[in-house]
């Protein structure tokens, strides 16, 4: 059978149109030679996702976005239709997540596979999520720092206000005078130290004093053993005192002092002979009169002994003398 030239041209045109149709759809992600199943996911926003964007599993392309459309319930949510190859076994609890494939923000859908034993079927709606982009992550990281910075700036502003109110002109003048006084004091201290250095270097007394101190410390160092011996002696003396019955001695002394105190108290109160003598003037007067009469008697006895004593050689004169004495 012979094909005419017009038939050949028609066949070529039809084949070209079919190939063009297939190529356009292939570029859109539709492959007529590969069996696919249509599944859905609902998002609050798509963030730049468009038709023919890839669907990936761990970086492997397993399908393409077929269409995007608003939900008819006027909620503003977006229904995304996805073509996934039938040979891919996707668990039912897998998640279809929109994420950025590069730093420029190109969007795609990656399937986060679950662990369910059941596979997703044609027409099912998958769980959806949106990965945070770089801007959102940076914003989340920077937001706390920004808040802290704003609080710090507010605190600094408050501190500056307080400092401004505290450091008024009067306070500044006082601080200036204080620093001048401190400077003058430091200069005076420097002069004093310079004078002390000069005195120590030039004056002989201080030099002699330092030499004497050095000599004393040298002697202490040389007589270290003697000093140790003296300290040991004091230690032995203290041990002897500790062993002695010092407490009993002190107790006896205390009792003696108490008795003496009682004795003097009784004397002061006029108790006993010594008390009467110390407190009673009449006893003192009588004793004084008695002593005076005795003194007069002794004086009279010395002046006139014959009045009281008579001597007789033969024994007769005694009676006459006694009679004379009695007569007198």
Q: Where are the domains of the chain?
A: 1-33, 35-131, 139-164
- Give the pLDDT of residue 80: 92
Question: Quick one: tokens of 242?
Answer: 């500790």
Measured in residues, the chain has a length of 328
Residue indicated by tokens 């009784």:
266
The residues, any chain, with a CB within 8 Å of residue 194's CB and separated by 6 or more, are: none
Over its C-alpha atoms, the chain yields an Rg (Å, rounded) of 68
CA distance 17 to 313: 209
Residue 112 token pair: 């986060």
146: its two tokens: 């920004």
The pLDDT score that the predictor gives to residue 204 is 56
Tell me what pLDDT residue 81 has.
92
Kindly state the DSSP code that residue 291 receives in the 8-state scheme. Answer: H
At residue 250, the pLDDT reads 76
pLDDT of res. 51: 86
- Tens of pLDDT along the chain (328 residues)? 566 777 778 778 888 887 776 677 666 555 555 577 889 999 998 888 888 889 999 888 888 888 899 988 888 899 999 988 888 888 989 999 988 887 777 888 999 998 888 888 888 989 988 887 666 666 777 778 888 888 888 888 888 877 777 767 777 777 788 888 898 888 888 888 777 666 666 555 666 677 777 888 888 788 888 888 888 777 777 666 666 666 777 778 888 888 887 777 777 776 666 666 666 667 667 777 888 888 888 888 788 877 776 544 445 444 444 444 444 4
Q: Structure tokens of 90? A: 């996707």
pLDDT given at position 319:
46
Q: Which residue has the tokens 């190939």?
A: 19
Are β-strands 54-57 and 95-100 bridged in parallel, bridged antiparallel, or unpaired?
A: unpaired
> Cβ contacts of residue 143 below 8 Å, gap of 6+?
none
Beta bridge partners of 94: none
pTM: 0.37
Rounded (5°) CA angle 133-135-138: 110
Scanning the chain, the segments in alpha helix (DSSP H) are 5-27, 134-166, 169-202, 204-222, 224-243, 246-268, 272-279, 281-303, 317-327
**Is it true that domain 35-131 has CATH number 2.40.128?**
no
In this prediction, residue 30 carries a pLDDT of 58
Q: How far apart are CA 15 and CA 28, in angstroms?
A: 20
């Amino acid at each position: 059978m012979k094909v005419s030239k017009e038939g050949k041209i028609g066949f070529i045109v039809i084949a070209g149109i079919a190939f063009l149709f297939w190529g356009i759809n292939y570029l859109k992600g539709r492959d007529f030679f590969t069996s696919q199943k249509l599944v859905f996911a609902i998002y609050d926003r798509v963030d730049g996702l468009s038709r023919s964007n890839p669907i990936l599993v761990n970086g492997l392309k397993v399908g393409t976005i077929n269409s995007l459309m608003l939900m008819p319930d006027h909620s503003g949510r977006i229904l995304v239709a996805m073509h996934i190859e039938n040979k891919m076994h996707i668990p039912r609890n897998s998640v279809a997540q929109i994420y950025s494939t590069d730093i420029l923000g190109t969007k795609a859908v990656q399937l986060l596979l679950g662990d369910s034993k059941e596979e997703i079927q044609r027409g099912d709606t998958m769980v959806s999520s949106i990965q945070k982009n770089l801007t959102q992550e940076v914003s989340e990281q920077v937001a706390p720092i920004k808040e802290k910075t704003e609080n710090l700036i507010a605190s600094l502003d408050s501190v500056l206000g307080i400092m401004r109110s505290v450091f008024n002109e009067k306070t500044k003048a006082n601080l200036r005078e204080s620093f001048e006084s401190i400077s003058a004091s430091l200069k005076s201290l420097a002069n004093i130290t310079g004078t002390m250095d000069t005195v120590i270097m030039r004056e002989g007394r201080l030099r002699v004093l330092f030499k004497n101190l050095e000599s004393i410390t040298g002697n202490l160092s040389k007589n270290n053993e003697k000093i140790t011996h003296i300290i040991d002696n004091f230690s032995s003396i203290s041990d002897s005192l500790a062993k002695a019955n010092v407490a009993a001695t002190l107790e006896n002394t205390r009792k003696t002092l108490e008795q003496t105190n009682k004795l003097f108290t009784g004397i002061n109160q006029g108790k006993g002979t010594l008390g009467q003598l110390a407190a009673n003037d009449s006893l003192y007067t009588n004793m004084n009169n008695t002593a005076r009469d005795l003194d007069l008697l002794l004086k009279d006895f010395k002046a006139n002994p014959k009045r009281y004593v008579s001597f007789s050689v033969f024994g007769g004169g005694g009676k006459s003398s006694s009679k004379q004495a009695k007569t007198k």
